[in-house]
Amino acid sequence: MGNTTAGGVERDRPLAPPDPALGPEERIARFVAHTRAAEIPAEVLGTAHQVLRTVCGTAVAGAAQDGIAELRQLVVTQGGRAEARSFVHGDHLPAQSAALLNGSMARALDYCDTMVPGLHLGSSVVPAALAAAELRGGCTGDEFLAALAVGLETGVRFNLTEEQYGGLDPTGVAGLMGATAAAARAAGLDAERTLHALALSFNRCAASFQSNVDASLAVRLIQGWTAASAVQSVQFARAGLTGPRHFVAGPFGYARLYARGERSAESFADRLGRHYGLEGIFFKKYPSCGLTQGITESALLALSEGSVNAREIERVDVFLPDFAFKLIGKPFEAGTNPRVNAQFSAQYCAANALERGSASLKHFEPERVAELSASAMISRIHVHFDPGLTGHSASRFELRTAGGGRWARTLEIGPGYPGNPLTAEEHLHGFDDCVGYAPWGLRPEQVRDLKRMTADLAEVRDVRAVVSALISPSAVPPGAPGSRAA
């Protein structure tokens, strides 16, 4: 068990003090390789379970989204040694290819877990760790739970501020370090090889938020690349290839290159194993960009609490802080990628909630986006930058009706963010929405198995059962070459 503090979760039982002769890199590698699930606070393990369940749901729901079929065709055609399986289809692929496809699939709907300032950990950590576990020949659920927890914690520790990233996508930077840690542990690497896996991945940290601004498919590919690069770094390290030992503290290490010298190298390993920061991970209540969560919530509350009739709405003004305005504040255009453009549009998300009275996956389908684009509601939504709003997920929502009625709400913290967590029922609703939306359905017993395993991994004898439960019996016609589950 652990104690939740204002800054995270503290482990109850004290650990031995860190060896002062070890640098932060060695301490991180030992933490990843040696920490057992029994040593991790229950709250942290609960978050790891929820991340796993969320990613399982978003992956099966995202299996037919734009670019996924093309990517699958590419990796299946490339072929290679059968080391791990793809979700949904059960393709037998090289572990890197499975991680690439599964990670891209899990992010395709942008309904997965995330963290300020835009770090998506789970959709790389889970696919990388599962591919590594399959590459290894399986591992126990307890061992896999430890891999998830240490991988997520590593990603959290390498996470930086908006200003430090300077436009870099955190998923391709801190997310890669977390996915590598999880994959290294799931693959059974020792501490020395874990260090080199992390060091090799340090050299591959990259990605830009321009991909999000331009609503490109690169957003989901970055998630897959991150998972695939993590698996490849683990394979390289296992083969004896080495990376820079001082990848955190060196003169050109992570602390200087990415944190811009504003964090000490020691801070990345401070209280490691005694303090966990996973409370910073949040889960989305609605299937769109994290920064649209508060806007959607306010719009729905205006209908319910404010007794507003959508037909009487004359004007809505949405106010956002600087970063959110740059990312989701531009006038909505469906463009060539309507789902992503809608997910990353404050104007669309507000109009959708007001017009349809809810926000679910089906509302972001291209046909539904086109319907709303042609409606009068979207032209009534106006989005503004407000320098007075400083919280990352803060927003202000002001509505005026034709009869002179007004409704206004300022939300400092969006739903699902730290300080405003989702309930267990809201988490389950999101998973069920994903399963119900899946283009290739799962059997009822598979859904039950997934809910059971993602609630208590310690009872799972071999974590490969999770992958098996994610493979749809209807995804590929019987007898199709190279695509049947084991």
Domain borders along the chain are 2-280, 290-411
CATH 3.40.1710.10 for the 290-411 domain, yes or no = no
Distance between CA 40 and CA 149 in Å, rounded?
Answer: 8
Domains 2-280 and 290-411 share a fold: no
CB 94 within 8 A of CB 80: yes
pLDDT, position 478: 45
Give the Cα separation of 244 and 34 in Å (integer). 21
DSSP codes, 440-469:
SPPPHHHHHHHHHHTT-GGG-S-THHHHHH
Question: Which pLDDT belongs to residue 277?
Answer: 96
Helix H or strand E segment including 398: strand 395-401
Q: CB-based burial of residue 257 (10 Å sphere; 0-12 exposed, 13-18 middle, 19+ buried)?
A: middle
3-state class percentages of the chain: helix first, strand second, coil last, to nearest 5: 50, 10, 40
User: pLDDT at position 486, please?
Assistant: 35
pTM comes to 0.89
Is the distance from CB of 72 to CB of 91 less than 8 angstroms?
Answer: yes
pLDDT (0 to 100) of residue 18: 60
Per-residue pLDDT of the chain (486 residues; tens, 9 = 90+): 455 444 576 665 555 556 768 999 999 999 999 999 999 999 999 999 999 999 999 999 999 999 999 999 999 999 999 999 999 999 999 999 999 999 999 999 999 999 989 999 999 999 999 999 999 999 999 999 999 999 999 999 999 999 999 999 999 999 999 999 999 999 999 999 999 999 999 999 999 999 988 888 999 999 999 999 999 999 999 999 999 999 999 999 999 999 999 999 999 999 999 999 999 999 999 999 989 999 999 999 999 987 788 999 999 999 999 989 999 999 999 998 898 899 999 999 999 999 999 999 999 999 999 999 989 999 999 999 999 999 989 999 999 999 999 999 999 999 999 899 999 999 999 999 999 999 999 999 999 999 999 999 999 999 999 999 999 999 864 444 444 333
For the structural domain made of 2-280, what CATH number should be given?
Answer: 1.10.4100.10
Strand blocks (E) in 177-320: 275-276, 313-320
Name the nearest CA neighbour of 299 among 241, 348, 259, 249. Answer: 348
**Residue-level pLDDT at 337:** 85
**pLDDT recorded at residue 336:** 87
